[in-house]
Amino acid sequence: MAVDNRPKNDGCCEVTSIRHTSLTMVIMKMARLK
């Protein structure tokens, strides 16, 4: 069952990863400002 659920969650993971990367970029910029 876990293997079958992977493809479905993959799409969500991609969206969250994109948001996570953008968040990381913001954090990096904030760190540079400090």
Q: What is the pLDDT of residues 13-26, one digit of tens each?
A: 566 667 778 888 88
Confidence of residue 1 (pLDDT cuts 50, 70, 90): very low
DSSP string, 1-34: -HHHHHHHHHHHHHHHHHHHHHHHHHHHHHHHH-
pLDDT over 60 (residue 29): yes
Q: pTM (2 decimals)? A: 0.43
Q: What is the mean pLDDT of the chain?
A: 70
12-16 own/partner pairs: CB under 8 Å, 24+ apart: none
